[in-house]
């Protein structure tokens, strides 16, 4: 059986004392295992990153950027392999994996502009003959801890910018689908990154806790579930580190009575069921304003879902694939059971999908649940599966109150034809990323990504301009040069 190891100082390492099975969720088979790093292995990675820091910090930003240009080309040239690796361990269909890779590459493209981004601020004559400027210096060794659902894109939110800014990096990817993450880290070395600048340690809580407490780590970027995000943020802070920790979500779409219902249904199909709903920006709740809108939405949705195709990652005609593990599949089914037991109506039931030839895969079919209410556990908690719940309300204010009262505030969307209503919604909704007739308002790489409330702990969002601030510290220099008389001492003209 293949054992997936670590990348430390440019070498593949494997401490296989503790391992964990890596499944192919489409077949249910544990084809591989991943080494779980010991504290000593993580410390070795931190030491490698620290040793690489002085030379990397001194490397001109333009030269760092040139490596990112080559990295982008290698990511594109290897896209088929990357998408296959994502599919084998995550279960994502090739077209969806390609989308993930593309959004990741866009962050590398942004990092290519780092000489411009690090230009700093300058003020001449802040006093007589005094100039002052601020520059942005790297922090040192920084760490990233990432979730299973975007094994390529989320790491690319972090290390290209951190490294382009002059830091060195230790990445701890998800232990559930580590191969694509490790593969692209090697591509960055192939692009010319010096050894030790990017290190990857696979592992679990042991590795994470080592990164959170080691004084050589100056900052931690985390993306994952909210309970772990909160733990990461408080522990990193208690250990004197800068931290941004992005957590879970429960994204609502308001469907207004004036919405183009066919368009809303189309958009909701992709946003609720794409990637099996295992996206932090998945729309998992549709809040229909008025019974007429709700009835139309539910009946059109039910009809459209008849043609949804769930199946193995290897068949690109499928719309979405399996869930990540058998345990997660059972958890998702448990939420559907609980909604039903609480009195909601399961309109389309995906609990027992038939996927020919893949009886052991971790599949749940697209599920639509109507008449969900805010007291239900299935409404309060993140399901992270292909389940769309419909809540019926009477007014837009009521719909917005629901969203504002929810503990999560990652993404949201309104479907309407009324520009004023949309403007009011985007002004007053307590959510970090807002779509107006756009179901997945994921910011492009030159903006920054982040939710509000318990979807993000920290001040700065991920990637884009906020990443430049997160991965650098400001230094402000004020200078005066009293004359030493040198200029006056040499005169080539007749004194006047």
Catalytic residues: 280
- Nearest CB to ligand NAD, comparing residues 264 and 413: 413
Per the DSSP assignment, residues forming a β-bridge with 141 are: 168, 217
Ramachandran bin of 120, using left for φ above 0, alpha for ψ from -120 to 50, beta for the remaining angles: left
Residues that bind ligand NAD (rule: CB under 6 A) add up to a total of: 27
Give min distance, CB of 205 to ligand NAD, in A.
4
Q: How far is CA 22 from CA 91, 271, 276, 294, 325, in A?
A: 12, 27, 19, 42, 9
Q: Does 148 bind ligand NAD (CB under 6 A)?
A: yes
Question: What x/- string results for residues 200 through 239 when contact with ligand NAD is judged by CB under 6 A?
Answer: ----xx--x--------------xxx--x-----------
Give min distance, CB of 37 to ligand NAD, in A.
11
Question: What x/- string results for residues 236 through 275 when contact with ligand NAD is judged by CB under 6 A?
Answer: ----------xxxx--------------------------
CA angle at 488 for the pair 486 and 490, rounded to the nearest 5°: 75
The bridge status of strand 168-172 relative to strand 141-145 is: parallel
- Nearest CB to ligand NAD, comparing residues 201 and 344: 201
Distance in angstroms (rounded) separating the CA atoms of residues 374 and 91? 31
Selected range binding ligand NAD among 20-28, 171-179, 304-312, 348-356, rule: CB under 6 A: 171-179
Phi, psi of 304 (to 5 degrees): -65, -35
Q: Is 307 helix (H, G, I), strand (E, B) or coil?
A: coil
Distance in angstroms (rounded) separating the CA atoms of residues 74 and 87? 19
Say if CB 320 and CB 93 are below 8 A apart: yes
- Nearest CB to ligand NAD, comparing residues 148 and 362: 148
Q: Does 96 bind ligand NAD (CB under 6 A)?
A: no
Question: What x/- string results for residues 422 through 461 when contact with ligand NAD is judged by CB under 6 A?
Answer: -----------------------------x---x------
Burial class (CB in 10 A: 0-12, 13-18, 19+), 491: exposed
- Nearest CB to ligand NAD, comparing residues 45 and 256: 45
Question: What x/- string results for residues 380 through 419 when contact with ligand NAD is judged by CB under 6 A?
Answer: --x-x-------------------------x---------
- Nearest CB to ligand NAD, comparing residues 175 and 466: 175
- Nearest CB to ligand NAD, comparing residues 44 and 278: 278
* Contact partners, residue 68, CB within 8 Å, separation at least 6: 108, 111, 112, 114, 160, 164, 191
- Nearest CB to ligand NAD, comparing residues 85 and 289: 85
Q: Does 175 bind ligand NAD (CB under 6 A)?
A: yes
Say if CB 265 and CB 286 are below 8 A apart: no
Q: Exactly one of 26, 174, 244, 389 binds ligand NAD (CB under 6 A); which one?
A: 174
Give min distance, CB of 280 to ligand NAD, in A.
3
What do you get for the CA distance between the two ends of the chain, in Å?
A: 89
User: In degrees to the nearest 10, what's the CA dihedral of 198, 201, 202, 207?
Assistant: -130
Q: Is 155 helix (H, G, I), strand (E, B) or coil?
A: helix
Tell me the residue number closest to ligand NAD, measured at CB: 224
* Contact partners, residue 260, CB within 8 Å, separation at least 6: 415, 417
Q: Does 4 bind ligand NAD (CB under 6 A)?
A: no
Give min distance, CB of 230 to ligand NAD, in A.
10
Give min distance, CB of 479 to ligand NAD, in A.
41
Distance in angstroms (rounded) separating the CA atoms of residues 200 and 48? 11
Q: What does the binding site for ligand NAD look like in residue numbers (CB under 6 A)?
A: 145-150, 154, 172, 174-175, 204-205, 208, 223-225, 228, 246-249, 280, 382, 384, 410, 451, 455
């Amino acid at each position: 059986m293949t054992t997936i190891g670590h990348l430390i100082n440019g070498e593949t390492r494997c401490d296989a004392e503790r391992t964990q099975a890596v499944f192919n969720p489409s077949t249910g088979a544990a084809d591989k295992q991943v080494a779980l790093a010991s504290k000593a292995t993580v410390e070795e990675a931190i030491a490698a990153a620290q040793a690489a820091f002085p030379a990397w910090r001194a490397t001109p930003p333009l030269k760092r950027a040139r490596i990112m240009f080559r990295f982008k080309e290698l990511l594109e040239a290897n896209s088929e392999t990357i998408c296959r690796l994502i599919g084998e361990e995550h279960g994502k269909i090739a077209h969806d994996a390609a989308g993930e890779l593309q959004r990741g590459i866009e962050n590398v493209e942004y990092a290519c502009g780092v000489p411009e981004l690090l230009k700093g601020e300058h003020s001449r004559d802040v006093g007589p003959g005094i100039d002052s400027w601020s520059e942005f210096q790297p922090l040192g060794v920084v760490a990233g801890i990432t979730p299973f659902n975007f094994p390529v894109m989320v790491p690319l939110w972090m290390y290209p910018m951190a490294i382009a800014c002059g830091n060195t990096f230790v990445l701890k990817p998800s232990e559930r689908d580590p191969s694509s993450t490790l593969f692209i880290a090697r591509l960055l070395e192939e692009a010319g990154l010096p050894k030790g600048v990017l290190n990857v340690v696979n592992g679990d809580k042991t590795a994470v806790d080592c990164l959170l407490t080691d004084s050589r780590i100056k900052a931690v970027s985390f993306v994952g579930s909210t309970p772990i995000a909160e733990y990461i943020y408080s522990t990193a802070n208690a250990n004197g580190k800068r931290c941004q920790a992005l957590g879970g979500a429960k994204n609502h779409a308001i469907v207004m009575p004036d919405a183009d219902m066919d368009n809303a249904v189309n958009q909701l199909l992709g946003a609720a069921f794409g990637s099996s709903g295992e996206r932090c920006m998945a729309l998992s709740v549709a809040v229909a304003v008025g019974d007429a809108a709700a009835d139309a939405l539910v009946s059109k949705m039910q009809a459209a879902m008849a043609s949804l195709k769930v199946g193995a990652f290897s068949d690109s005609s499928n719309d979405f694939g399996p869930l990540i593990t058998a345990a997660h599949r059972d958890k998702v089914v448990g939420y559907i059971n609980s909604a039903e037991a609480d009195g909601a109506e399961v309109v389309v039931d995906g609990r027992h999908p038939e996927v020919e030839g893949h009886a052991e895969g971790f599949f749940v079919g697209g599920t639509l649940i109507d008449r969900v209410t805010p007291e239900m556990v299935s409404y309060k908690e993140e399901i992270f599966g292909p389940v769309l719940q419909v809540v019926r309300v009477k007014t837009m204010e009521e719909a917005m109150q629901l969203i504002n009262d929810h503990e999560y505030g990652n993404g949201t969307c309104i479907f309407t034809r009324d520009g004023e209503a949309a403007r009011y919604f985007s002004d007053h909704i307590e959510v970090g990323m807002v779509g107006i007739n756009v179901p997945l308002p994921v910011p492009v790489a030159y903006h920054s990504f982040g939710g509000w409330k318990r979807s993000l702990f920290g001040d700065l969002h991920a990637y884009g301009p906020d990443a430049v601030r997160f991965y650098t510290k400001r230094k402000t220099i004020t200078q005066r040069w009293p004359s030493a008389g040198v200029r006056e001492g040499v005169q080539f003209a007749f004194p006047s």
